[in-house]
Amino acid sequence: MGLLILLLFLTAPILIGIFLYNNLIDRKNRVEQAESDIDVQLKKRFELIPNLVETVKAYMKHERETLVHSQSYVHATKEAE
């Protein structure tokens, strides 16, 4: 009986230590995975910036053409009066 209690007192800290170590490793892996996910999202965002710039340039060209056409229309109607 005494040997069983002694064995329990010796193995309990070892088992707790193993559990805590595994828990710490799991948390470290989660942090690394989260950092990796953030890096992937930032890379995707960075790669989309040139597409956004090109889209804005195309929209500016469209707006400029629309403005020129509307101004020429206004000038034409004023001259016609």
Instruction: Report residue 80 CA to chain centroid gap.
Output: 57
Q: What is the pLDDT of residues 4-39, one digit of tens each?
A: 888 888 999 999 999 999 999 999 999 999 999 999
Share of the chain above pLDDT 70, in %: 100
pLDDT at res. 13 = 93
Q: How many CA atoms lie within 13 A of 21 on its CB side?
A: 6
Report CA Rg, the chain. 35
pLDDT at res. 69 = 92
Q: pTM of this prediction?
A: 0.59
The tokens of 30 are what? 């989660």
Number of domains comprising the chain: 1
Range of the domain at 43: 1-81
Instruction: Report residue 43 CA to chain centroid gap.
Output: 8
Residue 1's SS3 state is coil
- Distance (Å, whole) CA 81 – CA 79: 5
